[in-house]
Structure 1
Amino acid sequence: MAKRTRIIEGTWNCTSCDTRDIPARLRNCPSCNNPREETGQESEFEFGDVDAASGKAQREGVTDEKALSASGAGADWFCDYCGASNRGDTPLCRNCRAERSATSRALVAEPEPSDAPPPPPAKKGSSRKWLYVGLVLLAVFMCFFWGSRTHDVTGKVVATEWTRTVHRESFQRVSKTGWRDELSTTSPRMPVNGQGEVPGVENIRDCTRRQRGTRQVADGTERVCSTKTREVQCGTEEKCTRQKLGNGYMKEVCEDVPKYCDESYEDCRTQTRYRSEPVYDLSCTYDTYAWKEVDVREQSGNDSSPRWPELPVGRNDRLRREEKYLVRIQYEDDGVQKHELEPKSEAEFLSWKNGQSVSLQVSNLGTVSDVAHAP
């Protein structure tokens, strides 16, 4: 596509009398006649606003021959003797007539822009959004850091408790149901000292057809559609690149490039349709043996002598034991606080005595992270 070129004239500000927006073609201030010198401010030109979407300068381009000639003269140079700025194609200083030397500084022109398209403009408010997210994350981190810091506190054991439970289970004959293809007659074996038993399968009977499950069966085809999105060309849009020429002028090159938009479309395909069908099989009743709980006894206390309750055990019985221990601790940390410790074994439980001093590590949020015997 055809490229369109414009020359944009910049403006500069006089540092002697503060006159602003002086056209680049004027090398002397129109108010105080001060020549534009080699300073950080007077050698920096302003070219106006730029459209964020296209990159096109909002300032009108110059068309007169004098300005176009000045823009093509090359980068300005500054006189070594008086500091005045001069056209890039002139060998003598316009102010003091000194010759341009190899040490005369020149403004640096920007390199030609590449043909790569400019990056898309940043969305408005995106930087503010990420700043807000960063502040929130920082606040969360600071709260977590403060809350996780711990300090040492001294407390004492105010109570100890224990509970022991014994379950008596008996290996008894029971009736169950199962699928015929999974049943095979086997003789049971009774346990010895509560172990080594075999349930067995005996007296398979009363087999009837029952639904065992379902299966998927092909039942024709169906058309299935889903909405998708794709990018399509929807016209053209203007994109511009700019190059500062180092003499108060800027060259702008614009061209029309393809514009793409999101388009929704229906993606359809034909696929096999399925229906569910019940699957039937033979379900039978059979005799077997299983452990069944027949008795349970519990004993508890707050002393330091945990005891198991007694239960009589028959020939085909076994005992299952459960134990639970609790140590209650009280300490001072911004008021009276309580903490419960659950020892995993009798030996660990017996190491804690009522009235004993303990050392705790407590976080600023009040969470106890460690409990130890006080030295």
Structure 2
Amino acid sequence: MSKRIRIIEGTWNCSSCDTKGIPARHKRCPKCNNPRELTDQESEFDFGETDAKTGRSLREGVTDTQTLELAQAGADWFCAYCGASNRGDQVLCKQCNAERTQDARALQEQALPGPRPRPAPPKGASKKSPLPRVLMVLGGGLFFCCFGTMIYGVWMTQTQDYPGQIVGTEWKRTLLQERFSPVTLQGWQDELSPQPPRMPVNGEGEAAGVQNIRDCVSSRRGSRQVANGTHRVCRTKTRRKACGTEEQCETRDKGNGFREEVCKDVTRYCDESYEDCRNETRYRDEPVYARRCSYDTYQWKEVARRETSGRDGEPPRWPELAVTPEDRLKREEQYTLHIEYGAPERKQAPLELKTEQEFLAWKKGQSVSVTATHGGDIKQILPR
């Protein structure tokens, strides 16, 4: 892969007589003879346009020996005494004959104590739109709204202790009577295994059983996919392939108004469309049938429900309900204290207890210390 090297010469503008496009080989203005100095206009070089695709400079490369030698002389330096530009291989300033000690550019950067001031906007530039400021205000408002909501949510879950009193007690108990009763169900014949039922004793030890399997009929149980031949399927795909070479160029600034351009030929890749064809199996849904049967078995069914409740000192009790040995009972119980707390504003809230023992430890009118959230949820009560 061969490389092609060119030297590209830049141009600068004289700030003294406003001459434009002075070749970099000239350290003095050809018109007014002033040396190139460390100013924004004179220290920057223009190298012209480059090809957007290859990066190659559109200027002609330097060919004469004298200019090529100048390009290889090293980066220019600016005299610390008179500010004139000099070749990189010179040790004395051509303007004032001073020795090369420290570059004027470095002295200038050291003289600036802080960050450089922001350059002024170009003439004719429109004033800054107020839209960013509006967006900042809206964004700040949204942030504080979300932050405030989060803080409020945290505050609502924080707890505080209050003096309080039990203003009421309440309880409710429920008995559910369930009976092991015969039922007729349906199931797939291959999943049914005949076995006798076993009746519960005191609500335990039962087995539902499967009896009297009958009335079996063919019924659709589902479907399955089966092969239904093959067919050829073609899909258009894209792949990358080498399709010749193309020139790619890179440049390196030599710091003296010249650039070294290195160009080389690299492989170029193109997108190629092609047909990817293959035989694929075609499938179809095939229904699956099985025999579905009726059978006799047993299930627990609710046959009765009794509730009783009380409040304010009435002792909890269970409702009366007569059961047979085949029946079973399910018990549900609920205990609630009604608390009034806070000063000077009084709040009321319920407190659910889990057991009868906890419930019987409290009485209506009893003074308590209440731990509650700012949102009104009671977390704990203690005697006071």
Relative to the length of structure 2, the TM-score reads 0.63
Q: CA deviation at 1:27?
A: 3.7
AA of the residue aligned to 1:285: S
Q: Distance in 2 between matches of 1:313 and 1:207?
A: 37
AA of the residue aligned to 2:154: R
Change beyond 3 A, Cα 1:255–1:169: same
Q: Is the 8 A contact 1:9 1:61 kept in 2?
A: no
Counterpart residue number, 2:221: 212
Alignment of 1:166 with 2:175, yes or no, is yes
Counterpart residue number, 2:203: 194
Alignment of 1:92 with 2:87, yes or no, is no
Q: Is the 8 A contact 2:172 2:307 kept in 1?
A: yes
Matches within 5 A, 1:1-375: 5=6, 7-9=8-10, 11=12, 24-27=24-27, 33=34, 36=37, 45-47=44-46, 54=53, 56=55, 60=59, 63=62, 65=64, 68-79=68-79, 84-98=84-98, 139=143, 142=147, 146-150=151-155, 151-152=158-159, 163-224=172-233, 230-231=239-240, 239-254=248-263, 267-300=276-309, 303=312, 307-324=317-334, 358-362=370-374, 371-373=379-381
Change beyond 3 A, Cα 1:28–1:338: farther
Q: Is the 8 A contact 1:194 1:318 kept in 2?
A: yes
DSSP-derived class of the 2:298 partner: strand
Q: Distance in 1 between matches of 2:278 and 2:245?
A: 33
DSSP-derived class of the 2:190 partner: helix
Q: CA deviation at 1:249?
A: 2.6
Rg larger in 1 or in 2?
Answer: 2
Q: CA deviation at 1:187?
A: 2.3
Q: Distance in 2 between matches of 1:322 and 1:372?
A: 24
Change beyond 3 A, Cα 1:90–1:336: farther
AA of the residue aligned to 1:88: G
DSSP-derived class of the 1:311 partner: coil
How high is the sequence identity, in percent, across the aligned residues?
48
DSSP-derived class of the 1:297 partner: strand
Change beyond 3 A, Cα 1:329–1:49: farther
Alpha-carbon RMSD: 5.3
AA of the residue aligned to 1:213: G
DSSP-derived class of the 2:70 partner: helix
AA of the residue aligned to 1:45: E
Relative to the length of structure 1, the TM-score reads 0.64
Q: Distance in 2 between matches of 1:208 and 1:149?
A: 63
Q: Distance in 2 between matches of 1:323 and 1:197?
A: 26
DSSP-derived class of the 1:246 partner: coil
Q: CA deviation at 1:170?
A: 0.4
Change beyond 3 A, Cα 1:167–1:253: same
Q: Distance in 2 between matches of 1:232 and 1:64?
A: 38
Deviations 1:284-333 (A, max 9, x none): 3322222111122344566575554332221100112334566778899x
Q: Is the 8 A contact 1:215 1:276 kept in 2?
A: yes
Equivalenced residue count is: 340
Q: Distance in 1 between matches of 2:49 and 2:357?
A: 80
Q: Is the 8 A contact 1:185 1:202 kept in 2?
A: yes
AA of the residue aligned to 2:256: N
Change beyond 3 A, Cα 1:56–1:213: closer
DSSP-derived class of the 2:225 partner: strand
Deviations 1:3-25 (A, max 9, x none): 664514154897x9999998644
DSSP-derived class of the 1:196 partner: coil
Please identify, of 177-186 and 49-58, the stretch whose mean Cα deviation from structure 2 is larger: 49-58
Change beyond 3 A, Cα 1:11–1:342: farther
Structure 1: gaps (5+ residues): 109-127
Q: Is the 8 A contact 1:8 1:59 kept in 2?
A: no
Q: Is the 8 A contact 2:225 2:286 kept in 1?
A: yes
DSSP-derived class of the 1:149 partner: helix
